[in-house]
Amino acid sequence: MKDFTYVLPKDAAEAARAAAAPNCALKGAGTDLVDRMKEGVTRPDTVVNLLTATDLRSPIREENGRIVMGGAITLAEVAESELIRKVAPGLADAAAEAATPQIRNRGTVAGNLCQRPRCWYFRNDTYACSKKGGETCYSIEGENKYHAIFENVTCNIVHPSNLAPILQVLGGTLHVVTAKGTDVVPSDIAVKDFWVRPEEDISRENILVAGQVIREVSFPIPRGTTGSSYVETREKASFDWALTSCAAALTLEGGKIASASVVLSSVAPTPLQLEAVEKWLVGKAPSDALFREAGTKATDGATPMRDNAYKITLTAVVVRRALSAAAARATGGGK
Amino acid sequence: MNADDPVIPVDPQDPAQRRRRNQQDGARGGKPFKFGQKGDVREVAVNVPPDEPPPWQFGDTHAVVGQRTPRVDAVAKVTGKARYAYDMNLPGMVWAAFVRCPHARAKVTAVDYSEAMKIPGVLVAKDYGSKDIRYALQHFGVVAAETHAACLEAVRAVKATFEVLPHAARMDQALAPDAPRVHSERPNKTGDDFRPEAVAAFEKAAQGCDAVVTGTATTEVQTHMCLEPHGVTARFEAPDRATVWASTQATFGARGEVARVLKVPEANVTVIAHYMGGGFGSKFSLGVAGAAACTLSKELGRPVKLMLERRAEHAQGGNRPSSVQEMSLGVKKDGTLAAYKVSKTGTGGIGGGAGAANPMIYDFGEVAEADFEVATNAGAAAAMRAPRHPQGSFALETIMNLAAEAIGMDPLELRRKNDKHPIRARQYVEGAKRFGWDKRTASGSGKGPIKKGMGVASSLWYALGGRGAQVLCRIRKDGSVEIRNGAQDIGVGTKTILAMVAAEELGIPLSRVTPFLGDTNDPIGPASGGSTTAPTIMPAARTAAFMAGRSLREIVAKTWDCGADDLALGGGKVIHLKDRSKSMTFEKACALMPGDEIAELGKRTGNYAAYEGQTGGVHFAEVEVDTEDGTIAVTRYLALQDAGTILNPLTAESQVNGAIVQGVSYALFEERILDRQLGQQVNADMEMYKIAGPKDMPRAEVILTEVVNGANNVGVAGLGEGPSVPVAAAIAGAVHNALGFPVWSLPMTPDRVLAAIAGKEKGK
């Protein structure tokens, strides 16, 4: 690990100004960044520790029909928040499913959204993979059991964030501050517009640029007849990355699905909004058979590689389970 | 055998020899002692050597031994006060690290160390080791620097050029028709094919069977994943001495190696391993890291620390070889196993050492066996907790389950019928009752997506220890006691039972005894391998304490004008056996000693004729298989395990629990995944190399079967390996019962489980 300048900003504005420095890395809990620095995959000249910025710690609260929280609110705080559990239990589930108690106690909401992919070729600095500026995606010919089954063209990473699909389902917004010279300008980014596909820019996974910091995250409080859920499959019960994951929100009216939002993750380089499945669901009565069919539809267009075809089965499973859980919450009025 | 041996040693791995010698020993006469287990107590004649106490026998009761006793170093461990080799930071210490090749096969053609040497604090950057690279992450250079950070930066700054050669890192690559040779002098696949006469005998016997079941089991390479990696902190002390803090399972072996590397007398070398962060069989030698650190320390005149980084630990720290086991088993309707054919192929990487303990445990009738090793360009295998056995157990217990189904017999009954070991015979019955085996439903009969199942598998080990330990017992004038041996406690609680044995023999509370292990300045002890540490050291410890206590009794006898044999130690007192009015506290007795201490050296003699040469175990597992997402939850586990005299039930149970944890992990998760391109392990970290965590654990129960084996004066048997043998097999049996068909590949990850389910549905 090489020497770096360590910045301890007092607020988001200061953090954004510091983050404009060349070759700068933003650090939340550091659970991802420090790993990458140890592996030599990321070698920053400046590290900005966001945990000292007090406004990034603004509490989870209700504000003008939205739930708002600071970017450095921890996963444990989200998982345990009674407010979130009441209005969007799917988000609480997603936070609770992540990593370990230790990591959830430190890991932040913004950090979870911005963590780099877990691809074992990307994380090994002796592999000059295309994401790191090399010429090859080693997963194409190599070991790809955990890689993408959708949109796996140039770089076959899967998006690792638990919170990404559920915040997208909930119509979440990222409240960003951007350093422009000495000025700091606020702006909003919809979660669904946050992601960058490898074909657009292989070197990154989201649209944040130097000098930008996620100050807060918010989402509109779902209507009373909406249920939300997050479901994942994985190998281990303790501390494991999802093999497939799905977040869903269903609004029921008169025993029929009035609106649906379904986002898959862990199967493609970015979270995948299943628009065709959503349209197909609207107007139908929820049932196990319906959700089973939806699960199958969700796998349309999958392009598995040598070792990851099993993820197709697991995609259908998470979609069905997420829809069932969302419908049960919508029916129960318990969100 | 030494001429002065008072008893006939038994080779515990050879039951025939054991039986023969049992008879011989009986014929020789000697004092009869009661050994055995409940319902099967045998009188065995033993000539007790003059300096040894009589062996503990069936029915003996103990004051300290057998009590659930927390580790004497528990507080030091959980508060971080315990200092491991990795924790040693000595004044003036230098950090060292290897420079490694990312390719599985290459020639190092040029190396430029100039940029590395420019980094502030870097002292050494140079060639070290072969330039003929045979596996990925093999080292060819070494760097030493004032700080760890500078050291790692220097490693990055080394510019090497390689001539990359075709490799065969994976077994499938090594077996391909046009595969490059891993060792130029021989083909990649070597070994012993079936003997034609054995195959003929198998075929003939198979014809007389009512069913012949077949199957191929595969297991993957498992790495040791020691929490503390391989390495040492070494301090050469000019002109001819050295002290080395090593993460080792063999302090005395390491001492010899240090002496050879540094060309100094063994007597001038001290190896210290007060604490050890996991070895599992991979830390018997000083290793490449240790040798390099010693050499650099001599060269620089400063202490040097070199511990393998995590990726290198996976590549260079050893592993359990893989296996492919093709089996055919012929069984008769009455459960007689009559014909067995097994062909085994596996890879131990660049170093060899593959193989599977298959057949074992059961009587298979006519057996034909073939055994092949495949050389690969991958890190060398090392002994790992019951080498060869978990692989063999998984395969043969799976084919046993299939055979039971073929003849419509309960799988537990089939095992009972074909296993005559007296300890397991009892464990099958007790275990079935305790586990509720009668509630096991027919294979594959569960409704709904989540299916429950139960499985059973058997264990054996050969761990009665032997010669190779001396223990020093000192009684100080103030009544405190030291008990010392130079071997290591690899984390299992050896230090605690050492103190317990001394306290028991001297009749004093445990708190009065201070145990010392892990320093080669103390008397010789064994390497911790083959589950022999406790059964090798503890009899010598008891003898040492007995001798020291005898010296104390002699001192008191003079005062009371009686014989030492008229006196006994117990309850913190010296007691007169004939005159109960006379007694003296242990402290008062110690105060009578003429000098400052009594010091006695107890020696481990050979084993007596034992009740059983092999230890036994039977394990039961219950699982829930989610047939939709392919996950397996091990819901309950019961291990019945014999370890002879149980000195400390708490740490003994902990040993078995550890085997269950590691076995669950082996069954469900652990797999070294090698990239077919560069040949590196892609999951060489603690994140993608998956190890079972707390939520993956079953509700586990351990029942320690009480067996007084009589192999020596204590009768403890090793427990490191036996319980590791059957865990994956028992879980696989439960999965088979749940699904109605076996999953033939370990680890049973969701992709493999779903493939097995899909394969079965296709076959319908």
Over residues B75-87, the mean pLDDT reads 96
CB contact under 8 A, B153 and A121: no
CB pair distance less than 8 Å for A235 and B690: yes
d(CA B229, CA B712): 35
Per-residue pLDDT for B141 more than 90?
yes
Reduced to 3 states (helix: H, G, I; strand: E, B; else coil), residue A323 is helix
Of A1, A3, A236, the CB nearest to B690: A236
Decide if A310 and B102 are in contact by the 8 Å CB cutoff.
no
As for the ipTM of the complex, it is 0.97
Find all residues with CB under 8 Å of B464, minimum gap 6, and list them.
B10, B12, B535, B607, B610, B613, B615, B644, B709, B711, B712, B717, B718
Question: Buried b vs exposed e over B410-437: b needs ≥16 C-beta within 10 Å?
Answer: bbbebbbbbbebbbbebbbeebbeebeb
Q: Taking 50 as the threshold, does the pLDDT of residue B411 lie above it? A: yes
Q: Which residue has the tokens 């699904």?
A: B739
CA distance B187 to B165: 17
pLDDT tens per residue, range B234-291: 999 999 999 999 999 999 999 999 999 999 999 999 999 999 999 999 999 899 999 9
Q: What share of chain B has pLDDT > 90, as a percent? A: 92
Q: With cut-offs at 50, 70 and 90, classify the pLDDT of residue B463.
A: confident
pLDDT-derived band at B50 (thresholds 50, 70, 90) equals confident
In this prediction, residue B764 carries a pLDDT of 62
Q: Is the pLDDT at B6 greater than 80, yes or no?
A: no
Read off φ and ψ for residue A102, nearest 5 degrees: -60, -45
What residues of A are in contact with residue B628 (Cβ under 8 Å)?
Answer: 317
pLDDT at B14: 44
- d(C-alpha B144, C-alpha B129), whole Å: 15
Run of H or E including B320? strand B319-320
- Does B14 lie at the interface with A, CB-CB under 8 angstroms? no
Q: Does this chain's domain B85-166+230-307 share its CATH topology with B421-464+610-764?
A: no
Residue environment code for B612-625, b if the CB has 16+ CB neighbours within 10 A, otherwise e: bbbbbbbbbbbbbb
pLDDT band at B543 (very low <50, low <70, confident <90, very high): very high
**pLDDT band per the 50, 70, 90 thresholds, residue B28:** very low
Per-residue model confidence as pLDDT tens digits over A271-328: 999 999 999 999 999 999 999 999 999 999 999 999 999 999 999 999 999 999 999 9
B4–A contact, CB cutoff 8 A = no
Q: Tell me, what's the pLDDT at B19?
A: 42
Residue type, A56: L
CB contact under 8 A, B152 and A1: yes
Provide the mean pLDDT of chain B. 94
- Token reading at A1: 């690990």
pLDDT tens per residue, range B640-656 = 999 999 999 999 999 99
B146 confidence band (pLDDT: 50, 70, 90)? very high
Q: How many CB pairs under 8 A join A and B?
A: 86
B102·A1 Cβ contact <8 A: no
Which of B122, B628, B632 is the best substitution to test chain A (most A C-beta atoms within 10 A)? B628
Tokens of A203: 């070197």
CA–CA distance, B104 with B679 (Å, rounded to integer): 5
The pLDDT value recorded for residue B518 is 98
Other beta carbons within 10 angstroms of residue B92's beta carbon come to 10
Q: Can you tell me the distance from the alpha carbon of B116 to that of A13, in angstroms, rounded to the nearest whole number? A: 39
pLDDT greater at residue B735 or residue B14: B735
Which chain B residues touch A127 with a CB distance below 8 Å? 102, 678, 680
pLDDT in tens, A13-47: 999 999 999 999 999 999 999 999 999 999 999 99
What residues in chain A have per-residue pLDDT under 70? 333-335
Give the pLDDT of residue A224.
Answer: 87
Q: Nearest CA to B589 among B561, B552, B554, B546?
A: B552
For A168-209, the DSSP string reads: HHTT-EEEEEEEETTEEEEEEEEGGGSB--TTT-TT-SB---
Specify the CATH architecture of the domain B63-78+465-603. 2-Layer Sandwich (3.30)
| Nearest-Cα residue of chain B relative to residue A318 | B629
Class for the domain spanning B421-464+610-764: alpha beta
User: pLDDT for B183-205, tens place per residue?
Assistant: 999 999 999 999 999 999 999 99
> What 3-state class would DSSP assign to B690?
coil
Name B355's Cβ contacts closer than 8 Å, sequence gap at least 6: B321, B323, B344, B346, B371, B373, B388
With vertex at residue B116, the alpha carbon angle to CA B115 and CA B117, rounded to the nearest 5 degrees, is: 90
Across the interface, do A120 and B682 touch by the CB < 8 Å criterion? yes
Q: For residue B97, how far is the Cα from the chain centroid?
A: 28
Residues of B in Cβ contact (< 8 Å) with A1: 149, 152-153
CATH number of B181-224+321-407: 3.30.365.10
Contacts of B697 (CB under 8 A, 6+ apart): B634, B660, B661, B664
What is the pLDDT averaged over residues B326-331?
98
Are B669 and A138 an interchain contact pair (Cβ–Cβ within 8 Å)? no
- Token pair for A292: 């089973």
- Provide the pairing of β-strand B40-46 with B269-272: unpaired
Instruction: Look at residues B714, B717, B470 and name the one whose alpha carbon lies nearest to residue B599.
Output: B470
Whether residue A278 contacts residue A260, with contact meaning beta carbons closer than 8 Å, is answered with yes
Q: Answer yes or no: do A236 and B692 touch at CB < 8 A.
A: yes
Tell me if B751 and A141 make a contact (CB, 8 A cut-off): no
Which band of pLDDT confidence, cut at 50, 70 and 90, is reported for residue B387? Answer: very high
Cβ contacts (< 8 Å) between B677 and chain A: which residues? 138, 141-142
Q: Which two tokens stand for residue A259?
A: 């609106």
Instruction: Tell me the pLDDT band of B29, cut-offs 50, 70 and 90.
Output: low
Q: Where are the domains of chain B?
A: 63-78+465-603, 85-166+230-307, 181-224+321-407, 421-464+610-764
CB contacts of B680 in chain A (<8 Å) are 124, 126-127
What string of DSSP letters covers B378-445? SPPP---SSTTHHHHHHHHHHHHHHHHHHHT--HHHHHHHT---HHHHHHHHHHHHHHTGGGPPPTT-
**Residue B3: per-residue pLDDT:** 34
Report all structural domains of chain A as residue ranges with CATH numbers, in order of start: 55-114+158-220 (3.30.465.10), 226-331 (3.30.390.50)
Any idea which fold B85-166+230-307 has?
Aldehyde Oxidoreductase; domain 3 (3.90.1170)
* pLDDT for position B5: 35
